[in-house]
Amino acid sequence: MTEAYTLTGYVDDLRRVARDTCDEDAILTRVGPLARRFAADGSWFDERYYRTDPKQGFGVHLLHEEQDHTLAILVVAWQPGGGTPPHDHGTWAVVAGIEGDETNVRYRRIDARDRPGYATLEPDDEFAAGPGDLVCMKNGGIHAVRNDTDAVTVSLHTYGMHVNFTDRCQYDTETGETKYFTVRIE
């Protein structure tokens, strides 16, 4: 029988990666398999992680963050039809599917970046991410997520910095407006 991969074990491994390198490519390469392993273990999972926030369209459950808000680990539950507008994270991100398929749309920023509060985006690719799948993004990566299924979907999100402590933005693809935002965390 395989030993459970606990939250403590996952956090210890993340700390080791953070001590070893600050190169985002190396971090994503190393954290991805760890996140997949932790998401698949399931011994830590609790029924409360299925709860969503109807106002947001998803529920966010904090598992861990360091005192300086680095190495944040969240479980996100997406209600049917719920999702986000295009957004960045203000940090690197590794998302591992736990239950159900979530539609991800990656965007490319095509404006000159010379107007504060404004961005022009175009979709780059769209794909479904489910159990065992990874979505890895460097700081500055932009994507949108939605649950096109008729059941709650759940994913594990690991960030270099807790997203409510970064200058993350969401993007309005019709007006070009960008604005800072945070999410409600349970």
Instruction: Write out pLDDT tens, residues 89-108.
Output: 999 999 999 999 999 999 99
Which pLDDT does position 1 carry in this prediction? Answer: 61
Domain contains 90: yes
Q: Average pLDDT of 116-121?
A: 97
Domain contains 143: yes
Domain contains 133: yes
Domain contains 2: no
Q: Average pLDDT of 84-91?
A: 98
Domain contains 124: yes
The per-residue pLDDT of the chain, averaged, comes to 97
Q: How far apart are CA 105 and CA 125, in angstroms?
A: 6
Question: pLDDT tens across 24-48, in order?
Answer: 999 999 999 999 999 999 999 999 9
Domain contains 139: yes
Question: pLDDT tens across 42-77, in order?
Answer: 999 999 999 999 999 999 999 999 999 999 999 999
Which pLDDT does position 26 carry in this prediction? Answer: 99
Q: Which structural domain range is residue 170 located in?
A: 7-180
Question: pLDDT tens across 124-177, in order?
Answer: 999 999 999 999 999 999 999 999 999 999 999 999 999 999 999 999 999 999
Give the burial string for 120-151 (b: 16+ CB within 10 Å, else e): ebeeeeeeebebebbbbbebebbbbbbbebee
Domain contains 1: no
Q: How far apart are CA 2 and CA 59, in angstroms?
A: 30
Q: Average pLDDT of 16-20?
A: 98
Identify the band that residue 2 occupies on the pLDDT scale cut at 50, 70 and 90: confident
Q: How far apart are CA 67 and CA 50, in angstroms?
A: 26
Please tell me the total count of domains within the chain.
1
Look up the CATH number of the domain holding residue 37: 2.60.120.10
Domain contains 167: yes
Nearest to 93, CA basis, from 106, 111, 81: 106
